[in-house]
Structure 1
Amino acid sequence: MPMPPPPDLAALSLSQVATLLAERRLPPVEQWNPAHCGDGQMRIARDGTWYHQGSPIARPDMVRLFATILRREPDGSHVLVTPVEKLTVEVEDAPFVAVALKAEGQGRDARLAFQLNTGELVVAGPAHGLRFVEGVDGPRPYLHVRAGLEALVSRPVYYELAERALAGDDAEPGLWSDGRFFPLTPA
């Protein structure tokens, strides 16, 4: 059975996003502890493209399915996990990319919703922090998705965030979302 198509972030209000997030059920990968079965011959490139045996996975439904069973291990490695097997996945940077932003409100009342390259929606806030890391190519923002998994915020979305941060009247440039302030300065 195919996975449902990802929602259109631009057509949703943030209250609709919140409803979709509340209804979403992910597999309980944190409860599954099968023996490690080896290398899954999968790689997630920095741009969010998923590869298997060196070739891009062309079916978005497959990528969305794999993303639901992806887990970050305590040692920082990534695995695909089911109740009966665990396979290593190479991740070049972050396993997801935040490709779209929807913002509502200003200042402390702002809410920022992101859509990932997999179609998943995430609202920045206490459970989904934003952090900024200084990279050789400039600041690299990351959004916490779940259980140690992060999304690299794409450059166009970062520019939207920077514009919002610089337009704010806070003492330091930063962003508010869901009652939490995220400084724009690298950690």
Structure 2
Amino acid sequence: MAAPATPLQRFPRLRARAAQLVLVVACLGTVATSQPRTDEVVAEFTGAPVQVTTGTRKVTRQLVVRALMSEDPEEPVLGWVTLEATARWTPTDPTRTERPWLQGRIGDSERSGAAEQVVLEPGGASSVMRRINASLDECLPGGAKSCGWNMTVDFELQPGVGEGTVDVEWKVVANVFIEGTSDMPKGFRVEVAEP
């Protein structure tokens, strides 16, 4: 004997309305619990092109992201950085068709951060690396009227490939905001530079 139908099974409109009500309540709960935050302030840094070779497989650049302000916020300053890169692989022997990978990495030290690899096209064709995002830890200026994050950018060529060079054009974009308020402090600006 089949179990009796529940009211939601007998009345499809009631089931649809119940599903809508659940979604509305979930959305309201999300909005009610989300923290206010300021708009993001964006700064961009275009690094000098780098060359990675089979003789020098890894190239590292140091950057500093700074948030500067005329008055200290009471809430934390945080954000993220994005590394974008385009690479061109030129083997010393143009008849070689191997396709090595190049890894790009951005983080707050040599051991942490986010990395991505791109397979390089032979013959100098451009290979675009997917954007790599890394977070900027919370910072409370505490009277300093600034926050700073030291970042490391690495490009590393796959080991064991035939001789050649990789020319890399790259840039870093920083997005910084203040969480817990929608009020932007006076003079708030962001810079990305080499130290």
TM-score range, shorter chain: under 0.3
Q: Which has the larger radius of gyration?
A: 2
Higher helix share: 1
> Which TM-score applies when normalising by structure 2?
0.22
> Which TM-score applies when normalising by structure 1?
0.22
If asked which structure has higher relative contact order (CA below 8 Å, sep 6+), I would say: 2
Higher strand share: 2
